[in-house]
Amino acid sequence: MQNIFKNSQEWLQFDHDHLWHPYTSMHDPLPCYAVLSAKGSKIMLDSGDALIDGMASWWSAIHGYNHPKLNAAIVAQTEKMAHVMFGGIAHQPASELGARLLNMMPDCFEHIFLADSGSISVEVAQKMALQYWQSSNNLKKQRFLTVKGGYHGDPFSCMSVGDPTNGAHHLFPTQITKHLYVARPEIGFDEPWDIDAVNELRAVIKTHHQSIAAIIVEPIVQGGVGMRFYHPQYLREMRSLCDEFDILLIFDEIATGFGRTGKLFAMQHAGIEPDIICVGKALTGGMMTLAATITTKKVAQTISLGDVPILMHGPTFMANPLACTVASASLDILLEIDAQTAQVYWQANVTRLAKALLKLQQLSGHKAVKQVRVLGAIGVVEMHENVDVARLQAEFVKRGVWLRPFGKLVYIMPPYILSNAEIEQLCDAIIEVIEQVY
C-alpha cells in the first residue's frame, strides 16, 4: 500500500476536514491528538510524547497495546484464514472461544451467538427474548423494562432501552420504541440496603408483567451514562421479581465483564444469574471488535421449538476467526496463574489497581467535586458541573497521561497491566488538574 499523505500534519488535516469522530460535530470538532503507535501501557503521539493510558481504549484494551501473545495469535490466524462466512461453515477459532466462554459462565449457560460488536450483541439479546415469548405462544410479551441511567449502545434497539432523558430519545422521538423505565437504582454499592428501593420496580412489574418480555440492565455499574455503582441487592430483588412474574433477565456485561469490577463478571457481586448475558469490549483484549450473547438451554430450545425456529440474526462478520482467536488468547492471559504468587492474573492486578485508585479520594470534599468512587479497576471523580473536555484533556496530556472525561465525570478505567507508578501518575494528574482548574 502506498500512503497518500506524506506526514502526520497532512493526514490530521484530512481527518479534521472529513472524518467524524464519536459524538462530535463535523463543523467544530473537539481537538484530536495524532497517535502513531501504542505499546504496553503507553500511547505514542506524533509530538514524541508517550502518554500513560487511563482509558484502555474505552475499557477494552485490558492487557495494554501491542501485546506479543495477542499479536502472535492474530498473525498465526491470518496465515490460515482471516475470515470465512459462518453460514454453513464451522471453524476451530469459534469453538475454541465458545468453549472458553462457557467455562467462565455459570453452568446454566449453554448457547452462544458471536456478534460483531457490543451493541449488536444487545440487539441479539433483545431478539432472543422476543422470539422466546413468540415461540412460547405468548404474543403479548413485546416490551422491555429497564432502569433509567443505562447505556446499551447507539443503534435504535439499544437506544430504546438506554436512558430516556440523557440518551438520544429526544432526537429520534418517532423512531425509538418506548419501553418501560423505572428510576435508576439509587443506593450505592456499599451503602445500607433499603427494601423500599425496589417499590417502583415491583409496582411497574405487577401492573405490566403480561407485556414485559425481559428486563435489561448493566449489572452493578451503570457505565456510559454516569459511571454509577449500585447495590447488589437490587439485582437479587430484580431476579426474584423476574422469576415471580415470568420475565426474562438480560445482563449487559459489555463494560463490566472480564474482571473490571473486581469480580470476573459483575453479576457475581449479587450471586445471581440472568437468562441472557452480553459480553464484548475486553473480550478480545481490545484488539478487534467482537461480542457474544450467551443464553441458557431453556431460552435457546424454546426459540428452536417455535413456529419460526431460527434465531433471526446473521451478520457478515459473525464469529470472525481473527477476532475469535485473539479473544481466546486474551482470555488465556486473563486467567493465567502467576507461578510465584499463585494468583490469577486479572484478580491480582485489579485488586492492586483498586487499592491505588483510592488515592483519588484526596479529592473528596473539594468544592467542585460531588463524589469520588472506586470499584475494582474503575476510579471516578464526579464533578458538580459538566467539565470542559478539551481543556482538561490538554492539561492531562501536558502531564503525560491519556484520560477522556465526559459530562460531569473524570474517570480512570486503565489497562490491567499498569505499574503502581503509572496508576499513581494518573491519579496525581487528575488531582493536580482538578485542583488547578477549579
3-class SS at 65? Answer: strand
**Residues near 154 by beta carbon (within 8 Å), at least 6 away in sequence:** 119, 168
Q: 119, 126, 295, 320: which one contacts ligand PLP (CB under 6 A)?
A: 119
**Of the two residues 123 and 395, which places its CB atom closer to ligand PLP in the complex?**
123
151 is an active site residue: yes
**Angstrom distance (rounded) from CA 302 to CA 131:** 9
Segment near ligand PLP (CB under 6 A), from 79-87, 247-255, 390-398, 405-413? Answer: 247-255
Active-site entry in 6, 17, 23, 28: 23
Write the interaction track for ligand PLP spanning residues 171-210; mark x where CB under 6 A is met and - where it is not.
----------------------------------------
Which DSSP symbol is given to 177? Answer: P
Short-list 417, 252, 351, 323, CA closest to 73? 323
Place of cell 412489574: 205
118: left (phi over 0), alpha (psi -120 to 50) or beta: alpha
Shortest distance in whole angstroms from residue 137 CB to ligand PLP: 31
Q: What would the grid cell of residue 11 be?
A: 493526514
Q: 41, 57, 77, 117: which one contacts ligand PLP (CB under 6 A)?
A: 117
118 touches ligand PLP (CB under 6 A): yes
281 is an active site residue: yes
Shortest distance in whole angstroms from residue 60 CB to ligand PLP: 8
Tell me how many residues contact ligand PLP (CB under 6 A).
Answer: 14
Beta-sheet pairing, 35-39 with 42-45: antiparallel
**Angstrom distance (rounded) from CA 1 to CA 107:** 48
122 touches ligand PLP (CB under 6 A): yes
321 touches ligand PLP (CB under 6 A): no
| Of residues 254-283, those binding ligand PLP (CB under 6 A) | 254-255, 280
* Residue in the shown chain whose Cβ atom is closest to ligand PLP: 118
**Angstrom distance (rounded) from CA 34 to CA 239:** 46
163 touches ligand PLP (CB under 6 A): no
149 touches ligand PLP (CB under 6 A): no
Shortest distance in whole angstroms from residue 10 CB to ligand PLP: 29
DSSP-assigned letters across all residues of 8-46: HHHHHHHHHHH---TT--SSSPPP---EEEEEBTEEEET
Sequence letter at residue 368: A
**Of the two residues 255 and 429, which places its CB atom closer to ligand PLP in the complex?**
255
Active site residues: 23, 151, 252, 281
The site for ligand PLP (CB under 6 A) is made up of 117-119, 122, 151-153, 218, 223-224, 252, 254-255, 280
